[in-house]
Every structure is written in C-alpha cells, then in structure tokens.
Amino acid sequence: MLARAGLASRREAEGWIRAGRLTVNGEVATLGGRVGAHDQVRLDGRLVRSRAGADEARAFLCHRSPGEPLAAPGATGGDAESSAVARPALLQRLPRRAGRRFITVSPMPRVDGGLELVTADGELAARLQRGVRHLLSEFGVRVRGELNETQLEGILAGTLDSGAQLPVERCTAAGGEGTNRWYMLAARGASGKEVRQLFERQGALVSRVMRTHLGPVTLERGLGRGQFRELSEEELQALVAPA
C-alpha cells in the first residue's frame, strides 16, 4: 500500500515497519499485515492517505534530453524541491497527484537520453523491470565515422564485457552529417549502457545513444524533449505481460 501510494519503495517501507514507525488503527504494524480501504494507517503519527485511483497504477513515458537530470541534484526520485535552475528536473514536472516518489524503469545513462519509463508504484516498477528484459528495444546510436563490416559483425554478435550475449536482431545505418553517423540497433532486453558497450567494444567512438522504442511503446515525434505522457492501460499490460 505504501509503495502504491508512491511514498517509498517496498524495501524502504519494510524498514519503516521493522522500526515500529507505522501503526494501523492505533496498533503497531507488523510485516505481512494487511490493510483495507477503511483502515487508518499512520507514519510517525501522521495519517497516510492512499492517492485517488491507487487501484489503477499509473506510469509515464518521458522524452529525456541527453544530459538532462531526472531529479534535482541531491533529490531522491521526485521528492526534492526545485534547485536554483530555471526549469525543474523532469520527475518534478510530473503530476503530483500521481505520487511523491518516482522510480525509473531501466533508465538510460545520464549522458544519453530518449524514452524513459517512470512510475510512483513500487510494485508496478518491479513488474515493469522484469518485463522489459524480454522486450525488443530500439536505439539510435551516433558514432564518429562509418563502421566497417568487421565492426558491424561484432555488434551483431552481441557479446558484452561480462561474456553474456545480448540478442541483437539488427544494426543498420541511418544516415548522418559530417563526421557523425547514426545507426539503428534493435535488441531484446537491452539497456542503454549495454548498447553503448557493444559499440565501444568494436572501437566505435560513441557520442550519443537514444532509446526510441521499448516493446510496444514508441517515442512519438510529437512528444518533444522534456515532455511526457501517461501510458494507457493497454500499453501497461503489454509491457508487463512478458514477466
């Protein structure tokens, strides 16, 4: 209930319960205890209110610019107030009614960007994290100069530094200007960090990785950088189905 209300992760909530900080109807809460819609839950004496529509978990697709922080410096999730910058961090711009603490699912490295999934529901975040490891993702990768056949074959082989094999379905040239060239890579269960690693293992100088697709979810052209939209129920179900 606490995770779904967006107050904490399940692990953090468990710590609160162990520390005796939670009460249910005036009694100290215990691990494994259940709460109903009419039970009164308090954290350190303060009433905890489930957000409206908590039975309908919400998640958001965000278009993050390369280098843009998800949260303000020193913030955890979306809790901190805006820092002394002109524009609040991305997570701080999400609707407050959707939760107070947002979790990013399979986040892209800070230097990169594109499609990000976030939710304030800890249980949903865990299900999404399991699900995305089975989904086909697509990335735009910008490198200096053109890749030769040997490099492309190495990328398609999908071998990571750990020796694990990433299921790469395709890697194709996608144009570019000057010395910069773009390649589109599709791989199942790939993270942004792993995609960058695949190219760098082949000696490519990578300047940018942008996630454009994650399973059934696409970063639409109409969704500008720094913008977001709520996922539909159909999209959510398709994302968690593999798990």
Q: Is residue 86 part of a domain?
A: yes
pLDDT greater than 50 at residue 78: no
CATH of the domain at 8: 3.10.290.10
CATH of the domain at 171: 3.30.2350.10
Boundaries of domain holding 179: 136-214
Give how many domains the chain has, as a whole number.
Answer: 3
Q: Is residue 28 part of a domain?
A: yes
Q: Is residue 21 part of a domain?
A: yes
Q: Average per-residue pLDDT in the chain?
A: 85
**Residue type for 23, please?**
T
140 and 198 housed in the same domain:
yes
> Would the pTM count as exceeding 0.85?
no
Q: Is residue 13 part of a domain?
A: yes
144 and 204 housed in the same domain:
yes
2 and 39 housed in the same domain:
yes
H or E, element range at 28:
strand 27-28
In whole angstroms, give the CA distance from residue 92 to residue 161.
Answer: 35
Q: Is residue 220 part of a domain?
A: no
Structure tokens at 164: 């694990």
73 and 92 housed in the same domain:
yes
> What pLDDT is attached to residue 54?
43
Kindly state the average pLDDT of the residues 96-110: 83
Q: Is residue 225 part of a domain?
A: no
pLDDT digits 0-9 by tens, 163-198: 999 999 999 999 988 899 999 999 999 999 999 999
